[in-house]
């Protein structure tokens, strides 16, 4: 079926979960993987495996609402045969071999508010970035819809701005093979 003259091609289907409770780690995992593979129950099971003898599990919120730490994300990816590689912020982003990276998960400071009142507290928030059909997207679960970042230059600009704010950590989601060979790092 051909398109009418001047019609815009339909955008690709981009999987995007919206924020619920403190489940941003679960949403970031599913968003970077572009399908619902993890639930709160699955993340809680990972927490139990990570600290089987703990009454108060250090890998999640005491309230049971989520707020999972990086160990849960790394274990979830390992269970799928993937790896999470910490990006060394001292490196130039030009060294990042984006074609070898399945996606990125950022841990960012996030303001806390009660309604319209902003509190002087900072929480941490997990955000996924992923390329779909040649376009990189910000898949932050707090956004109403995915935000197109553009090509590799666009995602590098986004990462540079996030890293410049400080307190930002970047995880590269890669295959085990790419992790073992260090293929996520450009050598040229």
| Active-site amino acid positions | 24, 125, 140
In angstroms, the CA 156 to CA 137 distance is 12
From 177, 173, 31, select the one nearest 96 (Cα to Cα): 173
Report yes or no: 38 and 26 within 8 Å, Cβ to Cβ.
yes
From 182, 175, 68, 45, select the one nearest 125 (Cα to Cα): 68
CA 112 to each of CA 22, 52, 125, 128, 186: distance values in angstroms, whole numbers, following the listed order: 12, 31, 11, 20, 38
From 106, 109, 162, 108, select the one nearest 130 (Cα to Cα): 106
Beta bridge partners of 68: none
From 36, 37, 31, select the one nearest 14 (Cα to Cα): 31
Q: How many CB atoms lie within 10 A of CB 163?
A: 16
């Amino acid at each position: 079926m051909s398109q009418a003259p001047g019609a815009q091609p339909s955008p690709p289907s981009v999987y995007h979960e919206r924020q619920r409770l403190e489940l941003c780690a679960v949403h970031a995992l599913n968003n970077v993987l572009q399908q619902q593979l993890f639930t709160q129950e699955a993340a809680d099971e990972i927490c139990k495996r990570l600290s089987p003898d703990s009454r108060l599990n250090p890998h999640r919120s005491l309230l049971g609402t989520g707020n999972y730490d990086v160990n849960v994300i790394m274990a979830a990816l390992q269970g799928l045969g993937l790896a999470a590689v910490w990006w060394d912020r001292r490196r130039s982003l030009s060294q990042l071999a984006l074609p070898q990276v399945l996606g990125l998960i950022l841990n960012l400071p996030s303001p806390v508010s009660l309604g319209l009142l902003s509190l002087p507290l900072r929480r941490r928030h997990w955000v996924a970035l992923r390329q779909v059909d040649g376009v990189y997207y910000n898949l932050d679960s707090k956004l109403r819809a995915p935000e197109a970042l553009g090509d590799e230059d666009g995602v590098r600009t986004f990462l540079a701005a996030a890293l410049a704010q400080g307190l930002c950590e970047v995880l590269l989601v890669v295959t085990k093979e790419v992790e073992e060979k260090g293929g996520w790092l450009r050598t040229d």
